[in-house]
Structure 1
């Protein structure tokens, strides 16, 4: 080793160069040789690892090795041996310059820490990408856990680097951090909140990637596309992206539509407002006319028979229509809607089907449909709901009912 340190120095001095100049030139020549040798070794190892990984990846069924290549794991690992060689032989280069040896050694060790962090990060990214391809983990916030681990890894790396630069033992340096813990908590407040929130979100299964959520406070209404330690990204239905702090999912109220998407149907809850003055009792002639509507023919026959039997048994005076029991056009229309929904091919018959009359309003009587569409896709759901109400609005005149609407210019003279 001693011969290598002064090999060029002896040659230069023997050729008449001064000792000072020979010392500097000897250091520069050795430094250039070391850089060239390390660069060649690094290039060769990098090519060998990349080619080997590519050949291995083509022979395996799993795509994990492909992800290792795409995340540059072999490339980063290839730098390890050249770094070790550099640390081993740099004292030879600076043997005559002891003042440079310590700073360079510290710089190389710090670079070694950074290199390890690069390798760990690329490896974790490969694991994250691989888990996202598995059905079990596709909707899990894997990125949050990776970020948490990397935050602690970077903190450990930074503290180790500072300990190396300052020359303070790592444990002693770590003990001294207690004095500035409050500052650390303040700086990493959002990270800590996000970390706690991401754990609670995952444990309680509050949000998954792919869930449709509505968060009015942040103007979010769409599908969750990414869950990280600090933020949750939601792609709205207009294709804009809304970013929500992760801790907001546990501190504020939001709506997750997963229950609907995993159920057997999507709820239809909409009302037609009937004009109150159009509601009336049905006379026999009106009932006979409505019997031509096939969906309620059997109902009207049976119902009219029951009503006539009751009125006869009670000697009801039917010269006044309000006496006794009677059918109303609104009641028969409710029965028609119920029968129409129960025979509609797009309505889930295993879930609630209800036609209910809500409390009267200044505009009229709301007649609400409460049912579930079998098709939960948004466009199809809207089409089904529109198709139902198109039919019901067109059917109203057959029952001599009117829908309420505010006067237009045509009514104002």
Structure 2
């Protein structure tokens, strides 16, 4: 096919052709119609590309100037997130389509091919622009309105996926010169294949809706998933991935449907309550638990003044008084006094939450002694402060236990020399005189 058959013959095209011929004559080239036509088509292509690029640069320059004059935070965010840059990609294919009539005659196969290619290019750039706008709107909403930190990124990914699906259908219909409706009617045959390909996306989308609807998970939550190594803070949630940063700064990724199909622990309730539980026990030697007399009780209360109120109230109430239930202890044994003292101590300290449950109790005896369990809540959820409060509490217990005549269990790995006597290499219990 000759180039003369595809070059249009209207007045503007003839004027441009004469201009090309004049330039070639000026440069000293011999008169050759084929050369003229090749240079003409090349000039039109260069003009189309240059026009599209210049238009894009001009629009971006004008937009940046407008933003600098208005000083709008939203406009600055649009530039920062390159929304205008993505939208400006629409201009080059439009400019090329506008100049196609100058380069190629209507009805030729080459023109049809070029128009189809540019239209597909235009559809792709429109999809990029729409997704950029959708992403920008989502980020604005997520930063300003999403006060519950709902996992909305999965919905964003779904919307962007739908945009690309529509763009692909339109592009294929242009390439095949078929109506998009015809292609849509044929998608039913590929439904099984599509479900297999997009299985994770479909499951992730459904799981994301369930997590958001049931308020199960937010970005920033501390979660523990027993079936995975995830034990940390949720950084991000997308259509196919939940990203968790563990406390050793490792990153664990897992599909959203794992959180729906299996159980996981969310510590958000603890954080929202502002209180964190302490539930730890310490072992008391059984043989150090003894009855106490009023004199020994008074002596202990003299050393620990916060115990005085409990002792006086208990002495004045021979029958159990429900008013003593907050401070659970007794004046019958030294361990009961220690329980009462620890309740009074915790209630007197501001670092503990006094509105939550408080228990100081003994558990089932073991071969190592009687476990004394402290069940209370700190008034902070910060990890460092929580550990400091918990450590200080049990250090205090270890320090005051001897004042009550109590011994805490301490495994040394050797026999107690005070209770075992070795005679003639035979170990036997010491005989009390």
The secondary structure found in structure 2 opposite 1:355 is strand
Aligned residue number for residue 397 of structure 2: 392
- Equivalent residue runs for 1:360-375 within 5 Å: 360-375=365-380
Aligned residue number for residue 240 of structure 1: 250
- Cα distance in 2 for partners of 1:302, 1:156 equals 79
1:306 Cα shift? 4.8
**Which of 36-45 and 168-177 deviates more?**
36-45
Q: 1:8 to 1:87 in 2, by over 3 A?
A: closer
The answer to whether residue 351 in structure 2 is matched with residue 351 in structure 1 is no
Which of 282, 305, 309 is 1:294 aligned to? 305
Which of 197, 200, 217 is 1:207 aligned to? 217
- Equivalent residue runs for 1:9-408 within 5 Å: 11=21, 17=31, 19=33, 21-22=34-35, 25-26=36-37, 28-60=38-70, 62-95=72-105, 98-134=108-144, 136-137=146-147, 139-292=149-302, 293-304=304-315, 306=317, 327-408=332-413
- CA contact under 8 A between 1:54 and 1:69: conserved in structure 2? yes
- Cα distance in 2 for partners of 1:153, 1:141 equals 20
1:368 Cα shift? 1.3
Aligned residue number for residue 429 of structure 2: none
- CA contact under 8 A between 2:241 and 2:256: conserved in structure 1? yes
The secondary structure found in structure 2 opposite 1:401 is coil
- Cα distance in 2 for partners of 1:379, 1:65 equals 41
- Cα distance in 2 for partners of 1:294, 1:137 equals 48
The secondary structure found in structure 2 opposite 1:291 is helix
1:305 Cα shift? 5.4
- CA contact under 8 A between 1:221 and 1:237: conserved in structure 2? yes
1:372 Cα shift? 1.1
1:6 Cα shift? 4.8
1:290 Cα shift? 1.4
Q: 1:53 to 1:18 in 2, by over 3 A?
A: closer
- Cα distance in 2 for partners of 1:301, 1:205 equals 50
The secondary structure found in structure 1 opposite 2:227 is helix
1:68 Cα shift? 1.5
1:410 Cα shift? 8.2
- Normalising by structure 1, report the TM-score: 0.87
- CA contact under 8 A between 2:131 and 2:163: conserved in structure 1? no
The answer to whether residue 10 in structure 2 is matched with residue 2 in structure 1 is yes
- CA contact under 8 A between 1:330 and 1:401: conserved in structure 2? yes
1:193 Cα shift? 0.2
- Cα distance in 1 for partners of 2:40, 2:150 equals 53
- Cα distance in 1 for partners of 2:163, 2:290 equals 77
Deviations 1:357-385 (A, max 9, x none): 22223332221111111111110011011
The secondary structure found in structure 1 opposite 2:386 is helix
Q: CA RMSD in A?
A: 2.8
- Normalising by structure 2, report the TM-score: 0.83
- CA contact under 8 A between 1:128 and 1:146: conserved in structure 2? yes
- Cα distance in 2 for partners of 1:71, 1:329 equals 68
The secondary structure found in structure 2 opposite 1:53 is helix
- Cα distance in 2 for partners of 1:365, 1:56 equals 76
1:59 Cα shift? 4.6
1:35 Cα shift? 3.2
Q: 1:96 to 1:161 in 2, by over 3 A?
A: closer
- CA contact under 8 A between 1:266 and 1:376: conserved in structure 2? yes
- CA contact under 8 A between 1:230 and 1:246: conserved in structure 2? yes
Flag structure 1 segments of 5+ consecutive residues without an equivalent: 311-324
Q: 1:188 to 1:363 in 2, by over 3 A?
A: same
The secondary structure found in structure 2 opposite 1:406 is coil
Work out the number of aligned pairs and report it.
394
